[in-house]
């Protein structure tokens, strides 16, 4: 019996080998006849099963039928494989047409806000400002306290925001989504000695009723320059240069007093309306001027808190909303368009 079992195993190995080597359908058909046809050794063995002693028949019968099935399966698989190879004839005629125009991938582009942020940062970078970023989740200390806005100060109402639940964040100090990029003034001054010249783009948040000019999530760009003998004339000259780069060489600027607790004096800056050249139009609401940023001379309390001597150092700071700048520059009348995901809008900014 052992000899018969061995013969069946050898037969299977040889058969599979032969099937694998078949190079086309004709060879495979010849192999099939040789291996499974009437005169095949395997067919003969199956036929002789009846002549075996009854106790050996089940085991040998099972093995012989398994071998037959395996061989059939391999022949079928090899046939499928051979059919998937194109014939010589097909290969000779079925050429790839390399002159067909390619399929152009759809190219993305930078969002208009990203474009304006980069443009603004670039202008200041050329003037020697370092571009840095900071955390959007901020301590109350940096967002308010260190910026000369103590708890219960009414100025906090200018910046209503979203607070982080201290229990779920496992913190023991008040934490919030920053309402402006000004906290980075403090973080940078804490870490470095003057001279400081930085520009900080980033996202800010406010608890805000959304309308055509306000969103509860928006971008700001902060600027800060501190050194010995920095004056309001430096603030004016720097912002003048900036505005002319962005809005054209004949722009005028106007400062008016405004209140921000971290600067003294504080101002808001406007440019003369480039649409109507100051005559008054819809864009400037007939005033001839467009407000574009808040600025001022860094408050001595702020300098003292970060360990700068206000008798020796002075500086200016400013903060602007790039969305507002883009709206003015491109005549966009609704801030919600920026995040509306309407490709007809976005495609206008190549
Ligand atoms: N942080 C102010 C705001 O969000 C804007 C601002 C005003 C920034 C005056 C400044 C500044 O650096 O000097 O309303």
Answer yes or no: 220 catalytic: yes
32 lines ligand 1 (CB under 6 A): no
The predicted pLDDT at position 100 comes to: 85
Rounded CA separation 38/325 (Å) = 89
134 lines ligand 1 (CB under 6 A): no
129 lines ligand 1 (CB under 6 A): no
Binding-site annotation, residues for Mg(2+): 264
Whether residue 331 contacts residue 283, with contact meaning beta carbons closer than 8 Å, is answered with yes
CA 185 to chain centre: 26
**Residue 296 Cα, ligand 1 centroid: separation in angstroms?**
8
Binding-site annotation, residues: 264
Protein residue whose Cα sits closest to atom 2 of ligand 1: 319
319 secondary structure, DSSP code? E
User: Quick one: which atom of ligand 1 is closest to the CA of 204?
Assistant: 4
Grouping H, G, I as helix, E, B as strand and the rest as coil, residue 339 is helix
The predicted pLDDT at position 259 comes to: 94
For residue 265, whether the previous peptide bond is cis, meaning omega lies within 30 degrees of 0, is yes
From the list 226, 263, 298, 325, the catalytic residue is 263
Strands 196-205 and 217-228: antiparallel
pLDDT at residue 188 greater than cutoff 80:
yes
Residue 210: pLDDT band with limits 50, 70, 90: confident
**Residue 8 Cα, ligand 1 centroid: separation in angstroms?**
90
pLDDT at residue 87 greater than cutoff 80:
no
Answer yes or no: 245 catalytic: no
Answer yes or no: 263 catalytic: yes
Answer yes or no: 81 catalytic: no
Q: Which two tokens stand for residue 124?
A: 């200041």
From the list 67, 71, 78, 159, the catalytic residue is 159
Residue 50: pLDDT band with limits 50, 70, 90: confident
Query: Residues 6 or more apart from 347 whose CB is under 8 A from it?
Result: 109
Answer yes or no: 206 catalytic: yes
pLDDT at residue 334 greater than cutoff 90:
no
Rounded CA separation 293/298 (Å) = 15
Arithmetic mean of pLDDT over the chain = 91
Protein residue whose Cα sits closest to atom 8 of ligand 1: 319
Answer yes or no: 159 catalytic: yes
* Reported pTM: 0.70
Instruction: Calculate ∠ Cα 243-253-216, nearest 5°.
Output: 65
pLDDT at residue 282 greater than cutoff 90:
no
**Residue 116 Cα, ligand 1 centroid: separation in angstroms?**
19
4-30 mean pLDDT: 88
């Amino acid at each position: 019996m052992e000899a018969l079992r061995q013969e069946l195993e050898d037969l299977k190995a040889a058969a599979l080998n032969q099937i694998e080597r078949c190079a086309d359908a004709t060879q495979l058909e010849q192999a099939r006849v040789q291996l499974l046809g009437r005169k095949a050794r395997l067919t003969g063995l199956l036929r002789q099963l009846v002549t075996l002693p009854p106790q050996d028949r089940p085991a040998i019968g099972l093995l012989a039928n398994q071998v037959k099935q395996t061989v059939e399966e391999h022949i079928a698989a090899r046939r499928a494989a051979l059919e998937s190879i194109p014939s010589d004839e097909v290969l000779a005629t079925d050429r790839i047409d390399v002159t067909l125009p390619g399929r152009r991938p759809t190219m993305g582009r930078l969002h208009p806000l990203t474009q304006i942020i980069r443009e603004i940062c670039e202008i200041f970078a050329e003037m020697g400002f370092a571009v840095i970023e900071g955390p959007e989740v901020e301590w109350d200390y940096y967002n308010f306290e260190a910026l000369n806005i103590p708890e219960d100060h009414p100025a906090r109402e200018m910046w209503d925001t979203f607070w982080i639940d201290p229990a779920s964040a496992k913190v023991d100090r008040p934490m919030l989504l920053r309402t402006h990029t000004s906290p980075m003034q403090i973080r940078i001054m804490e870490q470095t000695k003057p001279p400081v010249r930085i520009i900080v783009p980033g996202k800010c948040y406010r608890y805000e009723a959304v309308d055509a000019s306000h969103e509860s999530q928006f971008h700001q760009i902060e600027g800060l320059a501190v050194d010995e003998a920095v004056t309001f004339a430096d603030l004016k000259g720097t912002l003048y240069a900036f505005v002319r780069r962005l809005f054209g060489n004949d722009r005028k600027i106007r400062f008016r007093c405004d209140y921000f607790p971290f600067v003294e004096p504080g101002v808001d800056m406007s440019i003369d309306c480039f649409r109507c050249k100051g005559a008054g139009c819809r864009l400037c609401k007939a005033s001839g001027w467009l407000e574009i940023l808040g600025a001022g001379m860094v408050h001595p309390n702020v300098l003292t808190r970060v360990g700068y001597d206000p008798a020796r150092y002075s500086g200016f700071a400013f903060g602007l909303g790039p969305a507002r700048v883009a709206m003015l520059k491109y005549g966009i009348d609704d801030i919600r368009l920026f995040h509306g995901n309407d490709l007809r809008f976005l495609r206008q900014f190549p």
